[in-house]
A and B are shown apart, each in its own frame.
Chain A
Amino acid sequence: MAERHEIRLCGFGGQGVILAGHIIGQAAAIYEHKHATFIQDYGPEARGGSTRADVVVSDERVTYPYIETPTVLLAMSQPAYDKYHPQNHRDALVIIDAELVKPIVEAGKKVISVPARRIAEELGRTAVANSVMLGFFTAATGIVSPDAIKKAIAASVPKNTIELNLKAFDRGYAYGLEHSEAR
């Protein structure tokens, strides 16, 4: 059976959740030559409410690009977390922003909270919290290499923010290595 990762990113509109999902997909598909699909929750109901990005990464062609039970849930807002965490795969890894999401603690569930927003604030721009999250995601899951994600970040964010975003990624990545059993 092919190794298939179903990664769901969710949060408020404007947090860069969609961009982060696109970056993971691009990193896997272009810079690591894996198979990857990326779909964003698209509809009027998404405005102002929860936004969602679904990324499937596989070593085989993704015939079914939709996610039924995420193996990784990355949540950056409470409503989005509340909405999506019940759908998770039982072994799912849940990554949340420490300041924005209060998780439901359940025995045997892997929940890791990251102070992404705070780290971004320290760097001077809360807008790069998504890059911090990407760093942490990369360290904690090992689904894509830090090198590939960094290339995808550089190709995706506005030119004058590349440096800051890469710095944010590095901080998140370092934090992830320290605080999770990196795989």
Chain B
Amino acid sequence: MSQPRHLAGEFFLSGDEACAEGAINAGCRFFAGYPITPATEIAERMSERLPEVGGTYIQMEDELASMAAVLGASWGGVKAMTATSGPGFSLMMENIGLGAMTETPCVVVDIQRAGPSTGLPTLTGQGDMLQARWGSHGCYSIIALSPDSPQELYDLTIKAFNLSEQFRVPVLIMSEAATGHMYERVVIKSVEELELLPRRKPNVPPEEYLPYQPDDDLVPAMASAGEGYGFHTTGLTHDERGYPAMSVEAQDRLIRRLVDKIEKNKDAIIELEEDGTENAEVIVCSYGISARISQMAVQMARDEGMKVGILRLITVWPFPDERIRGLAQTARAFVVPEINYGQIVREVERCAGGKRTVLVPHMGGTVHNPHTIFEAIRQAVK
């Protein structure tokens, strides 16, 4: 085995490549995947890079298996990731649910393309944003991040691993073909400078260990297989011992905690970027490549003297309800460009307190023309 090799310096990378390097530097040592455009480059780079740092790439028979293997690897004590696009993301929903239920840290990257079904295999979309939140059956909560550049695909992949360990939850990176296939400068700091969160290990002997007894922040400590804890974990509703508990009370306790551990820790999770939102009449609220494109439209509007701010959702889930409610106190309208026919706009509208909320839809295949967004801003200012 060759010496661990971590990149450091400045590189001209695609978003997909940057994502893989972020994973490597975050300590990811297991990747299970299945080829799918436009996420394949992540798998290819991981297959090349993981053996160089003592990790393993395995190509599974489908995305059902990829997601299951990622969960298994995480319970083996290894940071694990997979990457896919819409059709594969749909298949992963089953075991993302198991990951949420068993509180398994892992990272799932969705380089979105336009759907539904096979859709536009190589062309961009943002149609999986609500699936990210609600895609697996039952009630749970999840974390999803949305990068707007190759640099952020690198940075947020590292952040995703940290959040997944801190909150014991699958963390989704909701990117899109436009960003995954875009090349740009990516600055990679030496791995020694990174703050990487380790797994929350139990600090009690095996006979006292309760695998699902939460700490104060509602997150329990996690043993790995083979450490002598002899624990049981199940996708069934379970009690603090991890044992199946088929009762209304157990269900109530567990589901409240699974949701609350994310929703009540929102302040520690949510990251937003704002520009000119103070005193703005119109606020453009967007995410991923659409937020990036919106910046150009916002500049055009400002050049014409309009008071426009931009709120970029770096964290999409959990949703920043509070911040949007706050902005709705002063803003007259929200403009929401996204590459779908209206997903995140529903959330914005929910929090906008009756203020006008304007969707700028795009059915996918490419990004918005900035002039379209500009026009929507102009209409909203009126």
| Separation of A40 and B123 alpha carbons in the complex (Å) | 12
Checking B121, B122, B182, B370 against A37 with a beta-carbon cut-off of 8 angstroms, the contacting residue is B182
CB distance from A109 to the nearest CB of B (A): 26
Report chain A residues within 8 Å CB of B366. Answer: 66
Contacts of B295 in A (CB 8 A): 63
Classify chain B: how many residues form its interface, as a range.
Answer: 20 to 34
Whether, in the assembled complex, B296 has its beta carbon less than 8 Å from a beta carbon of chain A, the answer is yes
| Contact residues in B for A103 (Cβ distance below 8 Å) | none
What 1/0 mask marks residues of chain A from 116 to 153 whose CB sits below 8 Å from any chain B CB?
00000000000000000000000000000000000010
| Residues of chain A lying within 8 A (CB to CB) of residue B296 | 63-64
The answer to whether A37 and B293 have CB atoms under 8 Å apart is no
Q: Which of B12, B122, B299, B370 contacts A42 (CB 8 A)?
A: B122
Interface: B325 (CB within 8 A): no
Residues of chain A in range 35-83 having any CB-CB distance to chain B below 8 Å? 35-40, 42-44, 62-66
B12 touches A29 (CB 8 A): yes
* Pairwise interchain contact A22-B12, C-beta atoms closer than 8 A: yes
One of A22, A44, A64 near B122 (C-beta < 8 A): A44
State whether B10 touches A38 (Cβ < 8 A).
no
Residue of B nearest to A64 (CB): B296
The 8 Å CB contact of B185, one of A22, A30, A43, A44, is: A30
Inter-chain contacts of B38 with A (CB < 8 A): 42
Closest residue of chain A to B299 (Cβ to Cβ) is A63
A25 at interface, CB cutoff 8 A: yes
**A63-B293 contact given A29-B185, A42-B122, CB 8 Å threshold:** yes
Q: A63-B293, A63-B296, A66-B367 are in contact. Are A42 and B11 (CB under 8 A)?
A: no
Q: Does B6 make an interface contact (CB < 8 A)?
A: no
Say yes or no: A37 contacts B184, CB within 8 Å.
yes
Hey, which chain A residues are within 8 Å of B12, CB to CB? Answer: 22, 25-26, 29-30, 36, 38, 152
Q: Which residues of B contact A (CB under 8 A)?
A: 10-12, 38, 121-123, 178, 181-185, 292-293, 295-296, 299, 366-367, 370
Starting from the known contacts A30-B185, A42-B181, 12 additional A-B residue pairs (CB-CB under 8 Å) come to A25-B12, A26-B183, A29-B184, A36-B185, A37-B183, A38-B182, A63-B293, A65-B178, A65-B184, A65-B292, A66-B366, A66-B367
